[in-house]
Each structure stands twice: as structure tokens, then as C-alpha cells.
Structure 1
Amino acid sequence: MSSVRVAVVGAGVVGFSTAVCIAEALPSCSVTLLAETFSPDTTSDGAAGILFAAKFPDIPLERQRRWFKDTFDHLLAISQSENSPEAGVMLSSGCQIFREVPEDTKPYWSDLVMGFRHMTDRELKRFPDHKFGQIFTTLKCECSSYLPWLEKRFSKAGGQVQQKKVNNLQELSSSYDIIVNCSGLGSKALVGDAEVHPVRGQVLQVDAPWLQHFIRDGDGKTYIFPGIHSVTVGGTRQEGDWRLGVDEGDTKSILERCTRLEPSLSKANVLATWVGLRPSRRNPRVEREGMQLQGKRVPVVHNYGHGGWGVSLAWGTALDAMRLVSQCLYEIPLQAKL
């Protein structure tokens, strides 16, 4: 009996996580990951990769909690293993601060990270423009290391990788029995999803080895995330903005805002500037559908639209996508399996 041929489209953190989950959990599948760009040229590569998440409006909170918890547990195990430096995963402690007391002082993931508590008045004194804060320990996953590490893990599980621009799903339908769409912003063209749109992010990598703790402004636009080799400072959240070039005005604004929160950054050298487009949507799309492709019905599983929360939810949504692929296996016509 030959294996069921599965194509995964997209080589960002969601695509590779999904491909690994399928290849490892479903040995009856032969999995090929196809993408035009791979690390270090994916959107995921520039992500700060710190784990917490916003709430999506139309997805049951229990499902969102499971996505976050599954991802956190998966990355925590890596951070506590010998693979931690190669995979680029580390524990990270710090604070999130707010100018006004937020509506939700205890987000849904507060019991899933470690040591979550509210800041004391003494701790808040450092940030005179802010009235409320949270302190916790979470994880930082640096995709420039994590994606090549996942690719190795995928190959070890028998997965194949192919560099190819997929222009439409029709071109895959003769070679594959199941298609998994993790194309992020590419889903706009690939499956005609008008709801997915870019949110432009610009960040800087700076050399500031003395910084050990992260600081994030609750509005999500200003943050300082120390990593393994450098500190990521940002950022921007520019809705519907497709510009991939570096904006010097944004660079200046980022440095000014971050130095206000952490004055010692004025002594840090800028190592690199990066721009990426987050694939945003009102809710991530993690579901399956049957599509008519070249006259036959092909199961398509979607897993995209995570916005700025791709790293925080990737493994959880990948497990969901793998379960959807598993359901499809039972429904594929027998000839595909023979």
C-alpha cells in the first residue's frame, strides 16, 4: 500500500510546525513541504518570537487556550533540553506595562505562563507614564534558529522539501491527495481570501548584552526583547501596509520610544533592521474544506492568518491541522491509498 501524498504550502513557523506534526504523527502520509522562500527569508524569521497572545473574537476561548498551551508546552520542553541553543528557544522574564488599566487584567494565558502577577507600585515607579503592569516568565523562540532546526526534524521524519512558488492549488491536485495551506498572506491570492491582510512590522536588532528582561508596552507597538545573540526592539503595527523597505522615520521612532522605557539603549549599537508583513485576519483560519480541483474533489486543510501571534500559537494550530488531515485520511477514495 503506497502512502497518502500530502502537500504543505508555506515554510514559515506555521508551515514547518504543521509539516512536522503530520510527518511524525501520521506515518501513512508522505509529506512534501513546498514554498518559494525559506529561512532566513520568511516573515517568521524577523519575529521577536515571545510567547503571549491577544484574544481572537470568534474562536472559542477553550480552543485558543489549547493552541497556546500546546505551543508553550512544546517549546518549554525544547528550552529545557540539550536542543535549546540550536533550536533558539529560551525562557524569558519581564513585564508588560499599560498606560491605563486594561479591561482584562488577567489574560486567558496568565495561568499557562510562569509566575504571572501584577506589578507593585514600587516596580511601576520606573515607568511614570504607565499605571498598570504584569510580570511573568514566558518563552522566546528565535525563528532564524528554530526554522532550520524544524526543517532537520522534518527530514528526519521522512519529509521532503521543495522550493517552488505555488501559484494555485490546481497545480498540486494531480500530484497530491491532501493539500495543507499554510501560506499566510499568500492565501489572499492562493485561495482568494479577501479577509487576510498585511500588518507591517519593523524591528531593529541591537547589541545590548546587559539587558536581561523584556519590556512590552500593552499597545503592542513598543517592546524590548533580549534574545540569545542580540536584543529585538520595535516596532510598528501598520494595517494594510505592504511596504517591505526600511523606513528611517520608523527606525528613529522605535529607538526614541524604546529608549524612553530603557534609557541604557542609547548606548546600544544597531546591528540590523528588518521589515515583515504579519498575515493578519479577524481570526486565524484552521479548518478543512473539500475543493473541486481539476475535476476532482480534494481535501484542503487551512492553517493561516495568525497575525503577530504565529510563534505563540503555531504548534497548537499545527496539531489541530494534523487532526484534520487525519480525518481526511478516512474519506479519501480507496484508489488514492492503493
Structure 2
Amino acid sequence: MTFIGKYETPDPEAVKLKHGHNKDFRPDCKQVVFGLNITADGHVPLSYQLFDGNTTDDVTHIPNWNGLRTLLGKEDFIYIADCKLKTEKNLTHIADEGGLFITIVPKNHKEYIQFIKYLKKNEVPWEDAFSVENSRKKGVFTVYRTYEAERTKEGFRVIFVHSSTKQKEDEARRQKKIDKAIEQLESLSPKLNAYHLKTKKEIKAAIDKIVKDVKEFIDVRIVTDRRQIKVKVSPGRPSLKSVYKNKWEFTHRIEWTLIEQGLIEASRIDGIFPLITNTQLEASEVLGKYKNQPFLEKRMYTKKSILEVAPVFIKKEHRIEAMLFLYFRLIAD
């Protein structure tokens, strides 16, 4: 929740408006972090919690889970959240307290990196999970498959999911980047050997900038051509008595080709995302429950857009807390 203005007399007992990672792309503004919980049955808002504006998402999950355990009077509910839940501290806390969780593994975590590296060159026995019809395109289905990899050192299950729709999206996204890079290379070619593109070093820097996101798919070579020219070395205007000497002139051009092996390997990992859980559910059931998580995003969208929480014309933190409580009651009823 983003706030604009100065708040010089904060209430020591209220949530603190702080600068943080602003999701409205306003780093100049202060904010508070609004955490919302919904039920799997009907996606009804169950509870919420406010955090200081400089609180990162990953540290909100333990107090949030503890609060839910107190509210529900039990700990064996399945806690489903986005990738910020996936820290060793968060997952072991929930598991050690008898709780259950399902979340997604970020792409920069070793579980994902190691599997993707393996999958680029090897086959795995995928199992059919289920298919879902596109709500906007009748007769078009997303087909899901799963593969359960080795468990983590903590004993948590890692389930990789393949989505046919995500596969098409990944392929289209990659092709769009490749097409853009080729277009820029074509635009770069006639500009070579002039101004700041005379040396190989300058040309390579320009190429690297263009292909930085697709360097595993496009091989660009700088080709140097030379030709002998005559250069006048005698003074005065050219005449029959002028003296010339031969000199080599060097020019550069670029050539590029697609890296077929890179494209093949990339196509093998299209549509993949990993889940981690400590439940004993079938892999397809884990996926089915995780797919409820986007409904939370829709609830947050409702709060931010349709109900128009912003702009807020109040200055005291405890009144901001009161206002957000009223909005929670509004979306919960």
C-alpha cells in the first residue's frame, strides 16, 4: 500500500510507514505491507496482517502462519503461498510445528537450476496430472504433467510441473527476444566502420548489448576484411609527379547464425515450474491446490483497483490501520 506525503509524528504502537520494495514502482513513496489470507473453499478472505513498509515478504510468513494457527486452533492446514515462502527458515518452522505447506521454487534456487541443467540433455518420466479448459477459449485446454525429483536435505518433496500453455508462452517469449535481437543486428550492420563503431572492441560491446538475453541462441561473428589502397605521400595537389604508397585498409562486418543446440535445449525446459511441499498428497493434488494461489492475487487486485484503496487522504498511522481494517471487512463480507 503506497502513501505519498510526510508523516513526522508516527504512532509508536501503529504500523510504520517506511520506504521499501514498492510494487507500484514508486521508490520515492512510503508504504505499508498488507498480508491477506483466504480460504481454499470459496477463496473467502480469512484474515489479514499489516507490516512495516520496509518489511520484505519472506519474513512475513512465520508471524502470519503463527497467527493463522492461533485463529484456526490447529496447525495441520495447508499453507499455500508464493515463492517468498521458500526459505529454509520458513519451511522448517512450519514443518517443525506440525504444519503443511505448498509453494513454488524460485528459478535461482539450486533445486531448479540442477534439474533444468539435467533436463536440457535428458528425458524424465512425466506423469499426466489433469487438464483445464481455458475460460476464455472454449475447447482449448491446458495439459499438466508432473515429475517428482529427489527430496531436499530437509526431506521436502520437489515436484516439477509441465504446463502446455506455459510451454507455448515460453517459446513465444524466447522467439520474440530472438527476433528483436536479429532486427537490432540488421540495424547495426550499416553503422559499422564509422564514428564509435570503428574498432572490434567497440563493435563487440554493441553486439554484447544486443544479444545479452539471447547469447545462447545467436552466434555473432565479427569478420575483418582488408584491401590495399594507394595513399598520396608527396606534398601538393595530385599530379603525374605525385608519390603514392600502398596501404592496407581494414573494415569490419558482422555475421550471425542461430545456435540450434541452444534452441533445442531451451525447448526441452519450456513450460516447467517446480513446487515444494511436505504434504503426502499425490503430485497432481499438490498442483491442484497450488493453483488456488492466484485467487489471492485476484483478491488483492480487487482491494487495489475496484475498491480504490488509493488515494488515502489521512495522515495518522492508526487511522490508516483502521481504514485498512474496514477494507478487509468489505472484501470479506
TM over 0.5: no
As a proportion of its length, which structure holds more strand?
A: 1
Higher RCO (CA-CA < 8 Å; seq separation 6+): 1
**What range is the shorter-chain TM-score in?**
under 0.3
Larger radius of gyration between Structure 1 and Structure 2: 2
